[in-house]
Amino acid sequence: MNTFADQLLVLVMLINFILLGSSRMTVSIRAVALQGVVLGLLPVLINNFSFHLLLISGGIILAKGVVIPWLLFGAMQRVQIKREVEPFIGYVPTLLLGAVTTALAFVFAARLPLAPEHQGLLIIPSSIATLITGFLVLTTRRKAISQVTGYLVLENGIFIFGLLLTEAMPMMVEAGALLDLIVGIFVMGIVINHISREFSSIDTTRLSALKE
């Protein structure tokens, strides 16, 4: 892996902290969009250049960096929610958890029995750190839009780990990641729509009031 790819992975982890520490949904959505663009560049940098790989990267950038953030901005404007006011866990504790788990991700990655060509790469620690960041956002935020961004970051972590398999299965990894992403956004879009319609709010704690 080249130095520029390592720098992009460091940028991905820095974006994780922006997501953990920001209460403004516009900042969170833009951070997820930037992370998506960065991840779209990585397959081209890590693997041998090909037109096929360029098309896949373009599709990833378009989906993760443009289309999905645009849909999230549209949902945010419809429900008139701009901030995550009362998360289950405060922003400072969440940031501290993110810092600790990121450090532990490097420790854990160093202990894994990896192939010689994968040892010392930032792919695995950044993948684990991003997975945990997505999980933290998903479980500590109340608003459905914030939870969607958490799901996106969680999927980004899976995508980063899948970069180790691009040489063996170059098409399946990226296509599978995009399929999971589309299904997840579709489901969360339905959830946001129904919560907003029933309660005039997108606070997911209000789901407990739903009756069969």
Structure confidence by residue, pLDDT tens digits, 24-55: 889 999 999 999 899 888 888 877 777 777 88
pLDDT greater at residue 147 or residue 136: 136
DSSP 148-189: HHHHHHHHHHHHHHHGGGTTT-HHHHHHHHHHHHHHHHHHHH
Cα 204 from Cα 32, distance rounded (Å):
21
- pLDDT for the residue 212: 44
The total number of residues shown for the chain amounts to: 212
Mean pLDDT is lowest, of 25-39, 102-116, 154-168, 187-201, for 187-201
Q: And the tokens for 181?
A: 């992403």
Nearest-CA neighbor of 16 among 133, 102, 122? 133
Cα 187 from Cα 202, distance rounded (Å):
14
In tens, the pLDDT along 121-136 reads: 788 899 999 999 999 9
Nearest-CA neighbor of 36 among 160, 161, 173, 187? 160
Cα 129 from Cα 162, distance rounded (Å):
14
- What average pLDDT does range 148-160 have in this prediction? 86
Largest CA distance in the chain: 55
- pLDDT for the residue 172: 53
- What average pLDDT does range 156-176 have in this prediction? 68
- What average pLDDT does range 107-126 have in this prediction? 79
Using CA of residue 42, residue 127, residue 30, residue 195, what is the dihedral sign? positive
- pLDDT for the residue 125: 92
State the average pLDDT for the chain: 78
- pLDDT for the residue 134: 92
pLDDT greater at residue 130 or residue 6: 130
Read off the pLDDT band of 22 (50, 70, 90): confident
